[in-house]
A and B are shown apart, each in its own frame.
Chain A
Amino acid sequence: MGLFSKFGDVRAALDSLAVDGRNPFDVCFDTIISATEAVLEGRPCLLFGTNNYLGLTFDATCIAAAVKSVHESGTGTTGSRIANGTYCDHALLEQRIAEFYGKRAAMIFTTGYQANLGLISTIAGREDQLLIDADSHASIYDACKLSTAEVIRFRHNDPEDLARRLHRLKDRPGNRIIVTEGIFSMLGDSAPLKEIAVVKRELGATLVVDEAHSLGTRGKKGRGVCEEAGVANDVDFVVGTFSKSLGAIGGFAVSDLPDFDLLRILCRPYMFTASLPPAVVGSVMAALARISTDESLGARVRSNSAKLYRALTLAGFELGPEPNAIVAIKMPDTGTAVRFWNQLIQRGVYANLALPPATPGSLSLIRCSVSAAHTEAQIDKALSVIVSVGRELRVLGPDPEQGLVRRTGSLPL
Protein backbone atom coordinates (compact mmCIF):
# COMPACT_ATOMS: atom_id res chain seq x y z
CA MET A 1 0.00 0.00 0.00
CA GLY A 2 1.47 3.33 -1.07
CA LEU A 3 2.11 6.18 1.31
CA PHE A 4 -0.60 8.33 -0.24
CA SER A 5 -3.15 5.59 -0.93
CA LYS A 6 -5.03 6.53 2.25
CA PHE A 7 -5.86 9.83 0.55
CA GLY A 8 -7.52 8.17 -2.43
CA ASP A 9 -10.95 9.61 -1.62
CA VAL A 10 -9.42 13.07 -1.25
CA ARG A 11 -7.86 12.73 -4.73
CA ALA A 12 -11.22 11.69 -6.18
CA ALA A 13 -13.01 14.61 -4.51
CA LEU A 14 -10.36 17.06 -5.73
CA ASP A 15 -10.57 15.79 -9.30
CA SER A 16 -14.34 16.09 -9.27
CA LEU A 17 -14.04 19.78 -8.36
CA ALA A 18 -11.75 20.68 -11.25
CA VAL A 19 -14.28 22.10 -13.71
CA ASP A 20 -12.96 23.71 -16.93
CA GLY A 21 -9.50 22.62 -15.83
CA ARG A 22 -9.57 25.07 -12.92
CA ASN A 23 -8.78 23.69 -9.49
CA PRO A 24 -10.42 25.88 -6.81
CA PHE A 25 -7.49 25.29 -4.46
CA ASP A 26 -4.89 26.28 -7.01
CA VAL A 27 -5.84 29.80 -8.08
CA CYS A 28 -2.77 31.82 -9.08
CA PHE A 29 -3.15 35.54 -9.79
CA ASP A 30 -1.02 36.87 -12.64
CA THR A 31 -0.82 40.35 -11.13
CA ILE A 32 -2.31 42.11 -8.11
CA ILE A 33 -3.14 45.63 -9.26
CA SER A 34 -4.67 47.11 -6.12
CA ALA A 35 -6.58 46.12 -2.99
CA THR A 36 -9.62 45.43 -5.17
CA GLU A 37 -8.30 44.45 -8.61
CA ALA A 38 -6.09 41.73 -10.06
CA VAL A 39 -5.36 39.91 -13.29
CA LEU A 40 -6.31 36.23 -13.30
CA GLU A 41 -5.74 33.91 -16.29
CA GLY A 42 -5.03 36.99 -18.38
CA ARG A 43 -8.37 38.62 -17.48
CA PRO A 44 -8.90 41.63 -15.21
CA CYS A 45 -10.94 40.72 -12.18
CA LEU A 46 -12.51 42.40 -9.19
CA LEU A 47 -11.41 41.01 -5.84
CA PHE A 48 -14.40 40.05 -3.70
CA GLY A 49 -12.79 37.25 -1.74
CA THR A 50 -9.68 38.54 0.01
CA ASN A 51 -10.15 39.48 3.72
CA ASN A 52 -8.65 42.87 2.74
CA TYR A 53 -11.41 44.54 4.73
CA LEU A 54 -9.90 48.00 5.00
CA GLY A 55 -8.03 47.87 1.70
CA LEU A 56 -4.70 48.69 3.35
CA THR A 57 -2.43 46.33 1.36
CA PHE A 58 -1.59 49.17 -1.03
CA ASP A 59 -1.88 52.02 1.47
CA ALA A 60 0.94 54.48 0.75
CA THR A 61 1.89 55.00 4.40
CA CYS A 62 1.96 51.24 5.07
CA ILE A 63 4.13 50.57 2.02
CA ALA A 64 6.49 53.43 2.95
CA ALA A 65 6.79 52.07 6.50
CA ALA A 66 7.56 48.57 5.19
CA VAL A 67 10.20 49.90 2.80
CA LYS A 68 11.81 51.99 5.55
CA SER A 69 11.91 49.00 7.90
CA VAL A 70 13.42 46.65 5.33
CA HIS A 71 16.15 49.19 4.55
CA GLU A 72 16.88 49.84 8.21
CA SER A 73 16.63 46.32 9.65
CA GLY A 74 16.93 43.87 6.75
CA THR A 75 14.71 41.28 5.14
CA GLY A 76 14.27 38.90 8.08
CA THR A 77 15.16 38.40 11.72
CA THR A 78 16.47 34.84 11.21
CA GLY A 79 15.50 33.90 14.75
CA SER A 80 12.93 33.32 17.44
CA ARG A 81 11.45 35.98 19.69
CA ILE A 82 13.21 34.41 22.68
CA ALA A 83 16.62 34.38 20.99
CA ASN A 84 17.77 36.96 18.45
CA GLY A 85 14.38 37.71 16.86
CA THR A 86 13.09 40.57 19.03
CA TYR A 87 13.90 44.03 17.67
CA CYS A 88 12.77 47.36 19.13
CA ASP A 89 9.87 47.44 16.66
CA HIS A 90 8.53 44.04 17.78
CA ALA A 91 8.38 45.33 21.33
CA LEU A 92 6.92 48.63 20.17
CA LEU A 93 4.22 46.93 18.11
CA GLU A 94 3.24 44.85 21.15
CA GLN A 95 2.94 48.03 23.16
CA ARG A 96 0.80 49.66 20.46
CA ILE A 97 -1.52 46.63 20.18
CA ALA A 98 -1.95 46.57 23.96
CA GLU A 99 -2.74 50.30 23.94
CA PHE A 100 -5.19 49.88 21.06
CA TYR A 101 -7.19 47.36 23.14
CA GLY A 102 -6.62 49.16 26.46
CA LYS A 103 -5.01 46.00 27.89
CA ARG A 104 -1.85 45.59 29.94
CA ALA A 105 0.18 43.53 27.52
CA ALA A 106 0.31 41.97 24.07
CA MET A 107 2.29 39.16 22.45
CA ILE A 108 2.78 39.04 18.71
CA PHE A 109 3.07 35.79 16.78
CA THR A 110 4.29 35.03 13.27
CA THR A 111 0.79 34.16 12.01
CA GLY A 112 -2.76 34.42 13.30
CA TYR A 113 -2.96 30.64 13.17
CA GLN A 114 -0.01 30.41 15.55
CA ALA A 115 -1.57 32.97 17.88
CA ASN A 116 -4.58 30.70 18.47
CA LEU A 117 -2.48 27.55 18.39
CA GLY A 118 0.00 28.93 20.91
CA LEU A 119 -2.24 30.80 23.31
CA ILE A 120 -5.01 28.22 23.66
CA SER A 121 -2.77 25.15 23.80
CA THR A 122 -0.59 26.74 26.48
CA ILE A 123 -3.19 28.21 28.83
CA ALA A 124 -5.26 25.00 28.88
CA GLY A 125 -3.49 22.43 31.05
CA ARG A 126 -4.16 18.75 31.74
CA GLU A 127 -6.76 19.34 34.47
CA ASP A 128 -8.56 22.09 32.55
CA GLN A 129 -11.51 22.00 30.16
CA LEU A 130 -11.74 23.90 26.88
CA LEU A 131 -15.27 24.78 25.74
CA ILE A 132 -15.16 25.83 22.11
CA ASP A 133 -17.87 27.05 19.76
CA ALA A 134 -18.69 24.20 17.37
CA ASP A 135 -18.02 26.42 14.32
CA SER A 136 -14.55 27.48 15.50
CA HIS A 137 -11.75 28.07 13.02
CA ALA A 138 -9.30 25.24 12.29
CA SER A 139 -6.59 27.04 14.28
CA ILE A 140 -8.75 26.69 17.41
CA TYR A 141 -9.39 23.00 16.74
CA ASP A 142 -5.68 22.44 16.14
CA ALA A 143 -4.88 24.28 19.37
CA CYS A 144 -7.21 21.83 21.14
CA LYS A 145 -5.33 18.91 19.61
CA LEU A 146 -2.03 20.32 20.81
CA SER A 147 -3.39 21.01 24.30
CA THR A 148 -3.58 18.38 27.03
CA ALA A 149 -6.95 19.69 28.28
CA GLU A 150 -10.33 18.06 27.82
CA VAL A 151 -12.15 19.61 24.84
CA ILE A 152 -15.91 20.07 24.64
CA ARG A 153 -17.78 21.74 21.79
CA PHE A 154 -20.84 23.86 22.51
CA ARG A 155 -23.55 24.57 19.96
CA HIS A 156 -22.70 27.45 17.67
CA ASN A 157 -23.56 30.87 19.16
CA ASP A 158 -25.70 29.21 21.84
CA PRO A 159 -24.98 30.62 25.34
CA GLU A 160 -27.62 28.34 26.91
CA ASP A 161 -25.91 25.27 25.53
CA LEU A 162 -22.59 26.62 26.81
CA ALA A 163 -24.14 27.09 30.27
CA ARG A 164 -25.51 23.53 30.18
CA ARG A 165 -22.07 22.14 29.41
CA LEU A 166 -20.44 24.24 32.11
CA HIS A 167 -23.02 22.97 34.61
CA ARG A 168 -22.11 19.37 33.75
CA LEU A 169 -18.53 20.18 34.77
CA LYS A 170 -19.44 21.80 38.07
CA ASP A 171 -17.86 19.22 40.39
CA ARG A 172 -14.74 18.74 38.31
CA PRO A 173 -11.37 20.24 39.21
CA GLY A 174 -9.57 22.54 36.79
CA ASN A 175 -10.20 25.79 34.95
CA ARG A 176 -12.91 26.18 32.31
CA ILE A 177 -11.77 28.10 29.25
CA ILE A 178 -14.40 29.33 26.77
CA VAL A 179 -13.20 30.02 23.22
CA THR A 180 -15.29 31.81 20.62
CA GLU A 181 -14.91 34.25 17.75
CA GLY A 182 -16.11 37.81 17.17
CA ILE A 183 -17.20 37.08 13.60
CA PHE A 184 -17.22 33.56 12.17
CA SER A 185 -15.31 33.17 8.95
CA MET A 186 -17.72 31.14 6.85
CA LEU A 187 -21.18 32.71 7.30
CA GLY A 188 -20.02 36.07 8.66
CA ASP A 189 -22.24 35.84 11.73
CA SER A 190 -21.14 37.37 15.03
CA ALA A 191 -21.08 35.82 18.49
CA PRO A 192 -23.60 36.87 21.17
CA LEU A 193 -20.74 38.05 23.38
CA LYS A 194 -22.92 39.90 25.87
CA GLU A 195 -24.79 36.69 26.71
CA ILE A 196 -21.63 34.59 26.67
CA ALA A 197 -19.99 37.07 29.07
CA VAL A 198 -22.95 36.64 31.44
CA VAL A 199 -22.52 32.84 31.39
CA LYS A 200 -18.80 33.28 31.97
CA ARG A 201 -19.38 35.56 34.97
CA GLU A 202 -22.11 33.40 36.50
CA LEU A 203 -20.44 30.02 36.09
CA GLY A 204 -16.82 31.08 36.37
CA ALA A 205 -14.56 30.66 33.38
CA THR A 206 -11.82 32.29 31.36
CA LEU A 207 -12.97 33.82 28.07
CA VAL A 208 -10.90 33.89 24.86
CA VAL A 209 -12.31 35.74 21.82
CA ASP A 210 -10.75 35.57 18.37
CA GLU A 211 -11.43 38.88 16.61
CA ALA A 212 -9.62 37.95 13.37
CA HIS A 213 -12.49 39.10 11.14
CA SER A 214 -13.81 41.85 13.40
CA LEU A 215 -10.67 43.88 14.10
CA GLY A 216 -11.19 47.09 12.12
CA THR A 217 -14.61 46.08 10.84
CA ARG A 218 -16.71 46.24 14.04
CA GLY A 219 -16.80 48.66 16.96
CA LYS A 220 -16.47 52.43 16.76
CA LYS A 221 -12.74 52.26 17.45
CA GLY A 222 -12.33 49.11 15.36
CA ARG A 223 -11.62 46.85 18.33
CA GLY A 224 -14.22 44.36 17.21
CA VAL A 225 -17.36 42.73 18.54
CA CYS A 226 -16.05 42.83 22.15
CA GLU A 227 -16.01 46.63 21.95
CA GLU A 228 -19.42 46.79 20.34
CA ALA A 229 -20.97 44.44 22.90
CA GLY A 230 -19.35 46.36 25.77
CA VAL A 231 -17.69 43.23 27.17
CA ALA A 232 -14.00 44.14 26.82
CA ASN A 233 -13.51 43.78 30.58
CA ASP A 234 -15.03 40.29 30.63
CA VAL A 235 -12.73 39.01 27.91
CA ASP A 236 -9.51 37.63 29.36
CA PHE A 237 -7.71 37.21 26.05
CA VAL A 238 -8.39 38.81 22.68
CA VAL A 239 -6.66 37.04 19.79
CA GLY A 240 -6.36 38.53 16.33
CA THR A 241 -4.47 38.70 13.09
CA PHE A 242 -2.54 41.24 11.06
CA SER A 243 -3.41 39.44 7.83
CA LYS A 244 -6.88 40.83 7.26
CA SER A 245 -7.79 44.41 8.18
CA LEU A 246 -4.14 45.31 8.76
CA GLY A 247 -3.07 44.00 5.35
CA ALA A 248 0.06 42.00 6.23
CA ILE A 249 0.61 38.78 8.19
CA GLY A 250 1.06 37.89 11.85
CA GLY A 251 -1.07 37.35 14.93
CA PHE A 252 -1.42 38.67 18.44
CA ALA A 253 -2.95 38.05 21.82
CA VAL A 254 -3.70 40.73 24.43
CA SER A 255 -4.56 40.36 28.10
CA ASP A 256 -4.71 42.11 31.46
CA LEU A 257 -3.69 38.99 33.38
CA PRO A 258 -0.54 39.61 35.43
CA ASP A 259 1.42 36.48 34.49
CA PHE A 260 0.69 36.78 30.78
CA ASP A 261 4.42 37.32 30.12
CA LEU A 262 5.17 33.75 31.27
CA LEU A 263 3.68 32.56 27.99
CA ARG A 264 6.79 33.84 26.23
CA ILE A 265 8.76 30.95 27.67
CA LEU A 266 5.96 28.38 27.74
CA CYS A 267 4.25 28.77 24.39
CA ARG A 268 5.96 26.59 21.80
CA PRO A 269 4.36 28.08 18.63
CA TYR A 270 5.73 31.43 19.85
CA MET A 271 9.16 30.16 20.86
CA PHE A 272 10.12 27.73 18.13
CA THR A 273 9.61 29.78 15.00
CA ALA A 274 11.24 32.86 13.52
CA SER A 275 9.72 36.22 14.40
CA LEU A 276 7.95 38.53 11.96
CA PRO A 277 10.24 40.22 9.43
CA PRO A 278 10.87 43.96 9.95
CA ALA A 279 8.92 45.04 6.84
CA VAL A 280 5.79 43.36 8.19
CA VAL A 281 6.21 44.87 11.64
CA GLY A 282 6.67 48.28 10.02
CA SER A 283 3.59 48.11 7.82
CA VAL A 284 1.41 46.69 10.61
CA MET A 285 2.42 49.54 12.89
CA ALA A 286 1.45 52.03 10.16
CA ALA A 287 -1.84 50.21 9.50
CA LEU A 288 -2.70 50.21 13.20
CA ALA A 289 -2.01 53.96 13.31
CA ARG A 290 -4.32 54.41 10.30
CA ILE A 291 -7.25 52.61 11.87
CA SER A 292 -6.66 54.26 15.24
CA THR A 293 -6.91 57.72 13.71
CA ASP A 294 -9.38 57.19 10.85
CA GLU A 295 -12.76 55.83 11.93
CA SER A 296 -14.10 56.32 8.41
CA LEU A 297 -12.34 53.15 7.21
CA GLY A 298 -14.47 50.95 9.47
CA ALA A 299 -17.59 52.94 8.63
CA ARG A 300 -16.92 52.47 4.91
CA VAL A 301 -16.45 48.69 5.06
CA ARG A 302 -19.69 48.46 7.05
CA SER A 303 -21.67 50.56 4.56
CA ASN A 304 -20.21 48.66 1.60
CA SER A 305 -21.05 45.34 3.29
CA ALA A 306 -24.60 46.50 4.02
CA LYS A 307 -25.03 47.54 0.37
CA LEU A 308 -23.89 44.17 -1.01
CA TYR A 309 -25.88 42.21 1.59
CA ARG A 310 -29.06 44.20 1.00
CA ALA A 311 -28.87 43.96 -2.78
CA LEU A 312 -28.16 40.21 -2.77
CA THR A 313 -31.03 39.64 -0.35
CA LEU A 314 -33.39 41.67 -2.54
CA ALA A 315 -32.25 39.67 -5.56
CA GLY A 316 -33.44 36.55 -3.76
CA PHE A 317 -30.24 34.90 -2.59
CA GLU A 318 -30.08 33.11 0.72
CA LEU A 319 -27.23 34.63 2.75
CA GLY A 320 -25.58 34.32 6.16
CA PRO A 321 -27.69 35.72 9.02
CA GLU A 322 -26.33 39.28 9.23
CA PRO A 323 -24.53 41.87 7.09
CA ASN A 324 -20.82 41.85 7.81
CA ALA A 325 -17.66 42.16 5.73
CA ILE A 326 -18.12 38.44 4.97
CA VAL A 327 -21.19 37.95 2.80
CA ALA A 328 -21.80 34.25 2.23
CA ILE A 329 -24.21 33.12 -0.50
CA LYS A 330 -25.72 29.69 0.14
CA MET A 331 -25.65 27.35 -2.84
CA PRO A 332 -28.10 24.47 -3.33
CA ASP A 333 -25.30 21.90 -3.71
CA THR A 334 -21.55 21.53 -4.22
CA GLY A 335 -21.76 21.10 -8.01
CA THR A 336 -23.72 24.34 -8.41
CA ALA A 337 -21.30 26.13 -6.08
CA VAL A 338 -18.33 25.05 -8.20
CA ARG A 339 -20.05 26.09 -11.45
CA PHE A 340 -21.11 29.40 -9.88
CA TRP A 341 -17.58 30.14 -8.72
CA ASN A 342 -16.13 29.32 -12.15
CA GLN A 343 -18.68 31.52 -13.90
CA LEU A 344 -17.83 34.44 -11.62
CA ILE A 345 -14.16 34.12 -12.57
CA GLN A 346 -15.01 33.87 -16.28
CA ARG A 347 -16.85 37.16 -15.90
CA GLY A 348 -14.20 38.96 -13.89
CA VAL A 349 -15.24 38.52 -10.27
CA TYR A 350 -13.14 36.55 -7.80
CA ALA A 351 -14.93 35.30 -4.67
CA ASN A 352 -14.11 32.34 -2.38
CA LEU A 353 -15.54 28.89 -2.86
CA ALA A 354 -16.21 27.31 0.54
CA LEU A 355 -17.19 23.66 0.71
CA PRO A 356 -17.86 21.02 3.38
CA PRO A 357 -16.27 19.95 5.67
CA ALA A 358 -14.75 23.43 6.00
CA THR A 359 -18.26 24.91 6.33
CA PRO A 360 -20.91 24.62 9.04
CA GLY A 361 -23.94 22.43 8.39
CA SER A 362 -22.36 20.89 5.25
CA LEU A 363 -23.19 24.10 3.33
CA SER A 364 -21.65 24.95 -0.02
CA LEU A 365 -20.98 28.68 -0.17
CA ILE A 366 -19.83 31.46 -2.43
CA ARG A 367 -18.09 33.54 0.18
CA CYS A 368 -17.70 37.18 -0.75
CA SER A 369 -15.68 39.61 1.31
CA VAL A 370 -16.14 43.34 1.17
CA SER A 371 -13.50 46.05 1.46
CA ALA A 372 -13.58 49.70 2.45
CA ALA A 373 -11.62 50.19 -0.78
CA HIS A 374 -14.43 48.86 -3.01
CA THR A 375 -16.06 51.65 -5.01
CA GLU A 376 -19.81 51.83 -5.58
CA ALA A 377 -19.18 50.98 -9.22
CA GLN A 378 -17.18 47.86 -8.31
CA ILE A 379 -19.91 46.65 -5.97
CA ASP A 380 -22.54 47.30 -8.66
CA LYS A 381 -20.48 45.36 -11.23
CA ALA A 382 -20.00 42.41 -8.86
CA LEU A 383 -23.70 42.45 -8.00
CA SER A 384 -24.75 42.41 -11.62
CA VAL A 385 -22.41 39.48 -12.39
CA ILE A 386 -23.50 37.51 -9.29
CA VAL A 387 -27.19 38.05 -10.06
CA SER A 388 -26.87 37.06 -13.72
CA VAL A 389 -24.92 33.88 -12.84
CA GLY A 390 -27.54 33.18 -10.15
CA ARG A 391 -30.30 33.36 -12.76
CA GLU A 392 -28.46 31.26 -15.34
CA LEU A 393 -27.72 28.51 -12.81
CA ARG A 394 -31.26 28.75 -11.43
CA VAL A 395 -30.09 29.59 -7.93
CA LEU A 396 -32.48 32.51 -8.42
CA GLY A 397 -35.84 32.54 -10.14
CA PRO A 398 -36.28 34.34 -13.47
CA ASP A 399 -35.78 38.10 -13.58
CA PRO A 400 -39.20 39.74 -13.04
CA GLU A 401 -38.08 42.95 -14.78
CA GLN A 402 -36.85 41.10 -17.86
CA GLY A 403 -40.23 39.42 -18.01
CA LEU A 404 -41.81 42.85 -17.93
CA VAL A 405 -39.54 44.05 -20.74
CA ARG A 406 -40.49 41.02 -22.79
CA ARG A 407 -44.18 41.58 -22.17
CA THR A 408 -44.13 45.31 -22.84
CA GLY A 409 -41.91 44.69 -25.85
CA SER A 410 -44.71 42.70 -27.40
CA LEU A 411 -47.19 45.56 -27.06
CA PRO A 412 -47.95 47.52 -30.24
CA LEU A 413 -46.30 50.92 -30.11
Chain B
Amino acid sequence: MIGNANNIEAEVLELLAHKVPANINVTPETPIVAGLGLDSVAILDFIMDLEDRFDISIPLDRVAEVQTVGELSQAIEALKSAAG
Protein backbone atom coordinates (compact mmCIF):
# COMPACT_ATOMS: atom_id res chain seq x y z
CA MET B 1 0.00 0.00 0.00
CA ILE B 2 2.76 2.40 0.96
CA GLY B 3 4.54 1.56 -2.27
CA ASN B 4 1.39 2.38 -4.20
CA ALA B 5 1.01 5.72 -2.39
CA ASN B 6 4.62 6.58 -3.23
CA ASN B 7 3.98 5.73 -6.86
CA ILE B 8 0.97 8.01 -6.97
CA GLU B 9 2.93 10.85 -5.39
CA ALA B 10 5.81 10.35 -7.83
CA GLU B 11 3.40 10.43 -10.75
CA VAL B 12 1.63 13.57 -9.46
CA LEU B 13 5.01 15.29 -9.10
CA GLU B 14 6.00 14.20 -12.59
CA LEU B 15 2.74 15.47 -14.14
CA LEU B 16 3.01 18.74 -12.21
CA ALA B 17 6.56 19.36 -13.39
CA HIS B 18 5.16 19.76 -16.92
CA LYS B 19 2.47 22.21 -15.79
CA VAL B 20 4.19 24.70 -13.51
CA PRO B 21 6.50 27.55 -14.56
CA ALA B 22 10.09 26.38 -15.12
CA ASN B 23 11.50 28.18 -12.06
CA ILE B 24 9.30 26.26 -9.61
CA ASN B 25 10.61 23.09 -8.02
CA VAL B 26 7.65 21.04 -6.82
CA THR B 27 8.00 18.81 -3.76
CA PRO B 28 5.37 16.96 -1.68
CA GLU B 29 5.46 19.91 0.75
CA THR B 30 4.68 22.54 -1.93
CA PRO B 31 1.41 24.33 -1.10
CA ILE B 32 -1.06 23.94 -3.98
CA VAL B 33 -2.68 27.38 -3.96
CA ALA B 34 0.33 29.57 -3.21
CA GLY B 35 3.26 27.48 -4.39
CA LEU B 36 2.59 26.22 -7.90
CA GLY B 37 2.32 29.52 -9.77
CA LEU B 38 -1.03 28.40 -11.20
CA ASP B 39 -4.33 30.27 -10.94
CA SER B 40 -7.38 28.63 -9.37
CA VAL B 41 -8.84 27.49 -12.69
CA ALA B 42 -5.51 26.05 -13.86
CA ILE B 43 -5.28 24.08 -10.60
CA LEU B 44 -8.78 22.66 -11.10
CA ASP B 45 -7.92 21.76 -14.70
CA PHE B 46 -4.78 19.97 -13.54
CA ILE B 47 -6.85 18.04 -11.03
CA MET B 48 -9.06 16.98 -13.94
CA ASP B 49 -5.97 15.54 -15.65
CA LEU B 50 -5.25 13.59 -12.46
CA GLU B 51 -8.83 12.32 -12.40
CA ASP B 52 -8.40 10.96 -15.92
CA ARG B 53 -5.03 9.46 -15.12
CA PHE B 54 -6.22 7.63 -12.00
CA ASP B 55 -9.80 7.01 -13.17
CA ILE B 56 -11.43 8.65 -10.15
CA SER B 57 -13.49 11.76 -9.51
CA ILE B 58 -12.12 14.12 -6.86
CA PRO B 59 -15.03 16.10 -5.42
CA LEU B 60 -14.43 19.84 -4.98
CA ASP B 61 -14.81 19.63 -1.18
CA ARG B 62 -11.93 17.14 -1.09
CA VAL B 63 -9.86 19.51 -3.23
CA ALA B 64 -10.61 22.32 -0.77
CA GLU B 65 -9.37 20.19 2.15
CA VAL B 66 -5.91 19.47 0.78
CA GLN B 67 -3.14 22.02 1.27
CA THR B 68 -0.05 20.46 -0.25
CA VAL B 69 0.90 18.30 -3.23
CA GLY B 70 1.58 15.41 -0.82
CA GLU B 71 -1.90 15.70 0.70
CA LEU B 72 -3.42 15.74 -2.79
CA SER B 73 -1.58 12.50 -3.59
CA GLN B 74 -2.88 10.95 -0.35
CA ALA B 75 -6.44 11.99 -1.25
CA ILE B 76 -6.05 10.31 -4.66
CA GLU B 77 -4.78 7.15 -2.98
CA ALA B 78 -7.75 7.14 -0.57
CA LEU B 79 -10.27 7.68 -3.39
CA LYS B 80 -8.66 4.94 -5.49
CA SER B 81 -8.83 2.51 -2.57
CA ALA B 82 -12.48 3.42 -1.92
CA ALA B 83 -13.31 2.83 -5.61
CA GLY B 84 -11.76 -0.63 -5.34
Task: Please tell me if B59 contacts chain A, counting CB pairs below 8 Å.
Answer: yes
Q: How far is the CB of B81 from chain A (nearest CB, A)?
A: 14
Task: Please tell me if B5 contacts chain A, counting CB pairs below 8 Å.
Answer: no
Task: Please tell me if A23 contacts chain B, counting CB pairs below 8 Å.
Answer: no
Q: Which residues of chain A come closer than 8 Å to B61, judged between CB atoms?
A: 150-151
Q: Which residues of chain A come closer than 8 Å to B15, judged between CB atoms?
A: none
Q: Which residues of chain B come closer than 8 Å to A361, judged between CB atoms?
A: 45
Task: Please tell me if A155 contacts chain B, counting CB pairs below 8 Å.
Answer: yes
Q: How far is the CA of A359 from the CA of B39 in the complex (A)?
A: 11
Q: Which residues of chain A come closer than 8 Å to B56, judged between CB atoms?
A: 168
Task: Please tell me if A360 contacts chain B, counting CB pairs below 8 Å.
Answer: yes
Task: Please tell me if B44 contacts chain A, counting CB pairs below 8 Å.
Answer: yes
Task: Please tell me if A2 contacts chain B, counting CB pairs below 8 Å.
Answer: no
Q: How far is the CA of A343 from the CA of B42 in the complex (A)?
A: 29
By the criterion CB–CB under 8 Å, are B41 and A357 in contact?
Answer: yes
Against B, the Cβ 8 Å flags (1 = close, 0 = not) of A276-312 are 0000000000000000000000000000000000000
Task: Please tell me if A107 contacts chain B, counting CB pairs below 8 Å.
Answer: no
By the criterion CB–CB under 8 Å, are A151 and B39 in contact?
Answer: no
Considering only residues 19-39 of chain B, those with a C-beta below 8 Å from chain A are: 39
Minimal Cβ-Cβ distance residue in A for B38:
A362
- Contact A168-B57, Cβ < 8 Å, known A356-B39, A357-B40, A362-B39: yes
Question: Chain A interface residue count: which class?
Answer: 10 to 19
By the criterion CB–CB under 8 Å, are A152 and B40 in contact?
Answer: no
- Contact A134-B57, Cβ < 8 Å, known A168-B83, A357-B40: no
Considering only residues 143-159 of chain A, those with a C-beta below 8 Å from chain B are: 144, 150-153, 155
Task: Please tell me if B1 contacts chain A, counting CB pairs below 8 Å.
Answer: no
Q: How far is the CA of A97 from the CA of B61 in the complex (A)?
A: 35
By the criterion CB–CB under 8 Å, are A357 and B57 in contact?
Answer: no
Against A, the Cβ 8 Å flags (1 = close, 0 = not) of B55-84 are 111111100000000000000000000010
Minimal Cβ-Cβ distance residue in B for A166:
B57
The residue from A155, A168, A357 contacting B42, defined by CB atoms under 8 A apart? A357
Minimal Cβ-Cβ distance residue in A for B57:
A152
In this complex, the member of B39, B55, B58 whose beta carbon has the largest number of chain A beta carbons within 10 angstroms is: B39
Task: Please tell me if A169 contacts chain B, counting CB pairs below 8 Å.
Answer: yes
Task: Please tell me if A165 contacts chain B, counting CB pairs below 8 Å.
Answer: yes
Q: How far is the CB of A178 from chain B (nearest CB, A)?
A: 14
Q: How far is the CB of A363 from chain B (nearest CB, A)?
A: 10
Q: Which residues of chain B come closer than 8 Å to A168, judged between CB atoms?
A: 55-57, 83
By the criterion CB–CB under 8 Å, are B41 and A152 in contact?
Answer: no
In this complex, the member of A134, A169, A357 whose beta carbon has the largest number of chain B beta carbons within 10 angstroms is: A357
Q: How far is the CA of A169 from the CA of B57 in the complex (A)?
A: 9
Against B, the Cβ 8 Å flags (1 = close, 0 = not) of A157-174 are 000000001001100000
**15 A-B pairs (CB sep. < 8 Å):** A150-B59, A150-B61, A151-B61, A152-B57, A152-B58, A153-B44, A153-B60, A168-B56, A168-B57, A169-B57, A356-B42, A357-B42, A360-B41, A361-B45, A362-B42
Residue numbers of B with Cβ under 8 A of A are: 39-42, 44-45, 48, 55-61, 83
3 interchain residue pairs of minimum CB distance: A357-B39, A151-B60, A357-B41
